[in-house]
Structure 1
Amino acid sequence: MFRVRRNTLSNFIYLVIGIFAFQSCIYDFYRKEFVSEDKKNNEALLLSLLGLLPNPNQKLFGFLPGFSRNLSDSQFLSSDFFPKSTKKKIVLIHGWNPAERDSDPITNDEKKIQNIKNTFSNGLIHFQEGRNSASSEFDFYLYTYRTSNSILVNGRQFHSTLRSNFVDSDQVYIVAHSMGGLVTRVALAKETGVLPFVRLVVTLASPQFGSPFATPSFLGSNPFLNDLGSYLVGTQGGSELGYTNQGSGQTVISGANNLVLDVLNQSYLDANLNGKFVSFAGVMSNCTVGETFYYNTGCNILNNAGFTQSDGIVPRNSARLGNLTYKQIDIADCDHSMMAFQTVSADDTKSRNLFTQVITEIRNSPY
């Protein structure tokens, strides 16, 4: 395996993100991610890692607006069969999904679509019902992937999927919730390859400097979180959500580091790619405004640790990348799930207003 000399950060950028060129080594490095009882599954996943086959756990769908809020699976068409048009394109990518693990069988389309609905159903309803006339101006696409795998692997495969579905003359805008923002950053990193058709990325509560809740030193200081921590960081993807002390405006957590995010963020500074990003951050004014006990509890824990502004999972500064992106927008009293338009009711004002703000930022994009 690689032995990394940490003499300069720039050298390590090449080793971490450029790792994909060394196929025999990466085969061994990531083999542990794809261990299951199904030999055919293993072979398919490993071949996809080497770029020889598409990853069967990821897929891009096009969304066909319908008439019912009970969204049908038939409204989600494989991008290969989705009608091409001259409209601008919005690609939504979801965040971390705790329901799937590396060892699970390959995800079928029904489960893929359910993963998408779990995050973005309200946003799709807003689009379908013509909010902000979005459906007349944009085509909606949705990307899903196995979140327990490394963001480096998922980002490279997201890049390949985008490259194979769009051409340079297209106008593509990515809306990424949580971990999806990190996968997108890998996909657009200069080491992965240029995607000129991607005009703007809107991140919704993405832990661009990580989350304390994926950080062993933070979790270990709170016995209540031990079980959650071992589950969350027990996969490659989960561990790469960990908090880093590096970055503008960061609150320091003892022992917290995330070299993957540090390298990725440094790459973006060098390439000036942050100018393509608008960062939305959820800011709970108190720890009772979230729609679930889970996020309200997370808000209290973060408050007690000195993170007085968060969405219950991601601190405000992390979601805003320390104000290094093109633009930063705070969304009041939305927990982490609500930052993906997922309020209990699709008619909730917070969900509708957030959708409006996202579409407005895309329309007003200078790119």
Structure 2
Amino acid sequence: MFRVRRKILSSFILFLIGIFVFQSCIYDFYRKEFASDKKKNYELLILALLGLLPNPNQKLFGFAPGFSRNLSDSQFVTADYFPKTGKKKLVLIHGWNPAERDSDPVTNDEKKIQNIKNTFSNGLIHFQEGRGSATSDFDLYLYTYRTSNSILVNGRQFHSTLRSNFSDSDQVYIIAHSMGGLVTRVALSPETGSLPFVRLVVTLASPQFGSPFATPSFLNSNPFLNELGSYLVGTQGGSELAYTNQGAGQPPLSGAENLVLDTLNQSYLSSGLNGKFVSFAGVMSGCNVGQTAYYNIGCNILNGAGFTQSDGIVPINSARLGNLSYKQINIADCDHSMMAFQTISPDDVKSLNLFTQVITEIRNSPF
């Protein structure tokens, strides 16, 4: 057993070395791509922090369905210019992107759209092809933001964006993957302000009680993992994904704490707002069913630490909000990326069925 675990850990370390080099190359590329605009970008960020301009690193797009699976950037229309109809609204918000940092220059629209596609391209294809009759019943919007910033900052900005683009007569349903679920919880919290038009939030593998892989005490078990973890989650936003021992049904993890999530979750308990949430959790029945190798390895590591059910990143109790949400749904044999409909092929039955189930939950909700 010890040899098997050592082999798994060695494989994980070798794989993470590749990821580290790859992500470093992406990070350097982004810095070079926008280097000429640094001075202008910093000025924009300062004005945004002062509340004089919208944050240039976040944006809401409307999605115009097309006919090709090769999605065109022209299908993503700035929300201000997206035609308003009487349909209900879906808003998709993505999760954490480790390649960007707070200090990086502002991304242009092309890169913002690519960030959305990286998470939701299959979901967009399902929407435009009429899966679950979604196209006939809903208008689709997509929100992107810089994930290295605090979820508190991003949540308030998401609130402002929703408030300025929708009215109280609209019916808005948010579909949030991973970190996007935490940003949404901040946006809807009593401390941020009321958004009565948001009828329901569907979270897909959101670490609502955090993830061990963003937790220093968990990463410190190996010097390399600690160094890599510092790179990947060594930002304010990344650190706020850390695991917390506080929360209904939480298995304890030595040294784990997350005061941001604790405060946020306590606020939700007091206000009853958890009743607006449906929580989807990926459950890998075996640690070989993920479509990406590092989720399989992550599943094994979490298993060895006592988290026997996870999507390779987020333990089941965290994704299900300790069963405190309006409804909790397990999705079998889906890794963390697959929980955003991202399978290798958009025709994969797991991606198609998950999308249909999410739309069905929204359509059949009492809100």
TM-score normalised by L of structure 1: 0.89
Greater percentage in helix = 2
- 1:345 equivalent to 2:321? Answer no
* Aligned match of 1:308: 308
| Alpha-carbon displacement from aligned partner over 1:277-325 (angstroms, at most 9, x marks no partner) | 0000000001100001110111011000000000000000000010000
The one-letter code sitting in structure 1 at the alignment partner of 2:162 is L
How many angstroms apart in 1 are the aligned matches of 2:253 and 2:48?
A: 37
| Alpha-carbon displacement from aligned partner over 1:156-187 (angstroms, at most 9, x marks no partner) | 00000000000000000000000000000000
SS in 1 for 2:81: coil
SS in 2 for 1:203: strand
SS in 1 for 2:267: helix
Q: CA deviation at 1:52?
A: 1.8
Q: CA deviation at 1:264?
A: 0.2
* Aligned match of 1:158: 158
Asked whether the equivalents of residues 208 and 261 of structure 1 are also in contact (C-alpha less than 8 Å), the reply is: yes
* Aligned match of 1:98: 98
How many angstroms apart in 1 are the aligned matches of 2:330 and 2:271?
A: 26
Q: CA deviation at 1:45?
A: 1.4
SS in 2 for 1:257: coil
Asked whether the equivalents of residues 177 and 203 of structure 2 are also in contact (C-alpha less than 8 Å), the reply is: yes
* Aligned match of 2:145: 145
* Aligned match of 1:269: 269
| 1:2-81 mapped onto 2 (5 Å cutoff) | 38-81=38-81
Q: CA deviation at 1:116?
A: 0.3
SS in 1 for 2:80: coil
The one-letter code sitting in structure 1 at the alignment partner of 2:53 is L
Asked whether the equivalents of residues 219 and 229 of structure 2 are also in contact (C-alpha less than 8 Å), the reply is: yes
How many angstroms apart in 2 are the aligned matches of 1:228 and 1:117?
A: 26
Any unmatched runs of 5+ in structure 1?
Answer: 1-35
- 1:287 equivalent to 2:302? Answer no
How many angstroms apart in 1 are the aligned matches of 2:61 and 2:262?
A: 31
How many angstroms apart in 2 are the aligned matches of 1:224 and 1:282?
A: 27
The one-letter code sitting in structure 2 at the alignment partner of 1:101 is R
* Aligned match of 2:20: none
Q: CA RMSD in A?
A: 1.2
* Aligned match of 1:198: 198
* Aligned match of 2:250: 250
Asked whether the equivalents of residues 122 and 346 of structure 2 are also in contact (C-alpha less than 8 Å), the reply is: yes
Asked whether the equivalents of residues 209 and 318 of structure 1 are also in contact (C-alpha less than 8 Å), the reply is: yes
| 1:205-216 mapped onto 2 (5 Å cutoff) | 205-216=205-216
* Aligned match of 1:181: 181
How many angstroms apart in 1 are the aligned matches of 2:84 and 2:74?
A: 17
* Aligned match of 1:329: 329
How many angstroms apart in 2 are the aligned matches of 1:81 and 1:184?
A: 23
How many angstroms apart in 1 are the aligned matches of 2:208 and 2:308?
A: 18
Asked whether the equivalents of residues 232 and 239 of structure 1 are also in contact (C-alpha less than 8 Å), the reply is: no
Counterparts in 2 of 1:151 and 1:222: CA distance versus 1, 3 Å: same
SS in 2 for 1:282: strand
SS in 2 for 1:230: helix
Counterparts in 2 of 1:322 and 1:220: CA distance versus 1, 3 Å: same
How many angstroms apart in 1 are the aligned matches of 2:131 and 2:297?
A: 33
Q: CA deviation at 1:38?
A: 2.8
SS in 2 for 1:155: helix
Asked whether the equivalents of residues 98 and 233 of structure 2 are also in contact (C-alpha less than 8 Å), the reply is: no
Asked whether the equivalents of residues 217 and 255 of structure 2 are also in contact (C-alpha less than 8 Å), the reply is: yes
How many angstroms apart in 2 are the aligned matches of 1:51 and 1:175?
A: 27
Asked whether the equivalents of residues 42 and 105 of structure 2 are also in contact (C-alpha less than 8 Å), the reply is: no
Runs of 4+ with deviation above 4 angstroms = none
SS in 1 for 2:61: strand
Asked whether the equivalents of residues 49 and 153 of structure 1 are also in contact (C-alpha less than 8 Å), the reply is: no
- Matched residues, percent identical? 85
How many angstroms apart in 1 are the aligned matches of 2:125 and 2:37?
A: 38
Q: CA deviation at 1:104?
A: 1.4
Asked whether the equivalents of residues 60 and 144 of structure 2 are also in contact (C-alpha less than 8 Å), the reply is: yes
Asked whether the equivalents of residues 313 and 336 of structure 1 are also in contact (C-alpha less than 8 Å), the reply is: yes
The one-letter code sitting in structure 2 at the alignment partner of 1:338 is M
How many angstroms apart in 1 are the aligned matches of 2:168 and 2:216?
A: 42
SS in 1 for 2:139: strand
How many angstroms apart in 1 are the aligned matches of 2:188 and 2:42?
A: 28
| Alpha-carbon displacement from aligned partner over 1:101-130 (angstroms, at most 9, x marks no partner) | 112110100000000000000000000101
SS in 2 for 1:329: strand
SS in 2 for 1:38: helix
How many angstroms apart in 2 are the aligned matches of 1:52 and 1:260?
A: 26
Any unmatched runs of 5+ in structure 2?
Answer: 1-35
The one-letter code sitting in structure 1 at the alignment partner of 2:101 is R
How many angstroms apart in 2 are the aligned matches of 1:40 and 1:74?
A: 26
Counterparts in 2 of 1:271 and 1:60: CA distance versus 1, 3 Å: same
Q: CA deviation at 1:40?
A: 3.0
